[in-house]
Each structure stands twice: as C-alpha cells, then as structure tokens.
C-alpha cells in the first residue's frame, strides 16, 4: 500500500472493520494516515512527533473521533504521568521530566555511547531542536546548537544504574499552561538522558 495515497488508505481502513489505527510509519507520513483515519471515521494514535496534527482537532471532535499524536514514551506517557502527578499537588514549585532510551552500559561501546533505536533522521532533528526551560523563575531559550553545552547539561545519579548526563529536550515551558501549574513554579525542564561522554561528542 502507498501510505502517501490518502484515497487508498481511506478505502483500506473503511473496508476492514478497523476500530483504531495505530500509526508506526515515519513521521512524514503520519498526517496523511491521520487524515485518512478521520475520513474513515476511525480513531487514531501515533508515537511520532506530528507538527500539524492539531489542525484536525476541530473536525475530529465534531465527528466523535479521537486523535492522539505523540503517544510514545517520550513524548507521550511521560507527559501523561507528569500531568497526573501535578494534578495531585496543591502547589508545584519545580517540575523536571527525564526520558531515556539507552543501551546497557556494556553495549555503549562506541564514541556516542548510544545505539540508535529509532529513525536516524528523527534523532538528528531532535539533536538540533531548540529547548525552553525555567530556571529560578526565569525563562531560558536554548538554541538547538547549544543543548549539549556544559552550561545546559547536568548529571543525574540513578541508584542501581549510575551517573547519566541530562540535556534539555524540547520546550518544557509549553507544558506549564497545559498542566495548569500555578505561578509558584520557578523551575521546569524536560531532559533526555545519555551515558557520560555523549554530550561532549555532540
């Protein structure tokens, strides 16, 4: 099947008794698949970053169709768990989220100290993406070319695992409003974790 052919996708989804489309195609094709699922009247979920998916929201709501993009581990489950945790608290002063998909230490046997487990172009895009964090109540925008710098990276000790490097991973400040965190918030960041040496390499 040609995943770029929306008509073919709609016919296939409509005629097969499908109740939900779980999309695992490359992100560049995700919008077409979501659009086809919506046309077929079928719910849609994807683990990929999607960008323009929000423009389908109004039509999906009107038709009673659920569209859930970015529902992998990171982004996705990490943010859902974060929002649920924040909802249980009276006041939030700091929120740091960490995500990692790292090889076992003995398998981190290359200059990157990492194994690419998803699309290489997706990884490179993430490694050039700017970030936004809160530090001491101040919003800090970090250019994509500086996310691995010592100024923005920190170390995190994880019991039973060891020390990992944490570098800024996208726009954390965006979630302050989505999570309904009040004005008491002074520190917020989303970070990716890697074995020591990864940041220096980049």
Point out the domain boundary residue: 23, 46, 68.
Answer: 68
User: Residue 148: inside a domain, yes or no?
Assistant: yes
Q: How far apart are CA 138 and CA 99, in angstroms?
A: 23
pLDDT tens digits, one per residue of 119-169: 777 778 888 999 999 999 999 999 999 999 999 999 999 999 999 999 999
pLDDT tens digits, one per residue of 17-74: 889 999 887 777 888 889 999 999 999 998 876 667 788 999 999 999 999 887 877 7
Q: How far apart are CA 171 and CA 131, in angstroms?
A: 5
User: Residue 1: inside a domain, yes or no?
Assistant: no
Task: Tell me: do 130 and 180 sit in the same domain.
Answer: yes
The parent domain of residue 122 ranges over: 77-201
Task: Tell me: do 88 and 50 sit in the same domain.
Answer: no
The pTM of the full predicted model, rounded to 2 decimals, is 0.79
Task: Tell me: do 158 and 179 sit in the same domain.
Answer: yes
Task: Tell me: do 59 and 99 sit in the same domain.
Answer: no
DSSP line for 134-177: EETTEEEEE-GGGTTSTTT-EEEEETTTEEEEEEE-SBSTHHHH
Point out the domain boundary residue: 26, 42, 68.
Answer: 68
């Amino acid at each position: 099947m040609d995943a770029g052919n929306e008509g073919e996708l709609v016919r296939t989804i409509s005629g097969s008794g499908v109740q939900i489309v779980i999309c695992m195609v490359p992100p560049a094709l995700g919008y077409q698949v979501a659009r086809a699922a919506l046309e077929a009247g079928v719910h849609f979920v994807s683990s990929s970053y999607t960008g323009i998916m929000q423009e389908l929201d109004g039509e999906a709501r009107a038709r009673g169709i659920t569209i859930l993009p970015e529902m992998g581990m990171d982004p996705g489950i990490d943010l859902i768990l974060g929002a649920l945790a924040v909802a249980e608290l009276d006041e939030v002063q700091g929120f740091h989220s960490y995500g990692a998909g790292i090889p076992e230490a003995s398998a981190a046997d290359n200059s990157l100290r990492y194994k690419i487990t998803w699309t290489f172009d997706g990884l490179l895009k993430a490694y050039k993406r700017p970030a936004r964090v809160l530090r001491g109540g101040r919003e800090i925008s970090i250019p994509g070319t500086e996310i691995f710098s010592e100024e923005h990276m920190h170390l995190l000790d994880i019991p039973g695992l060891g020390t990992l490097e944490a570098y800024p991973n996208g726009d954390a400040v965006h979630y302050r409003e989505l999570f309904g965190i009040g004005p008491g918030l002074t520190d917020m960041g989303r970070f990716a974790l890697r074995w020591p040496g990864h940041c220096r390499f980049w």
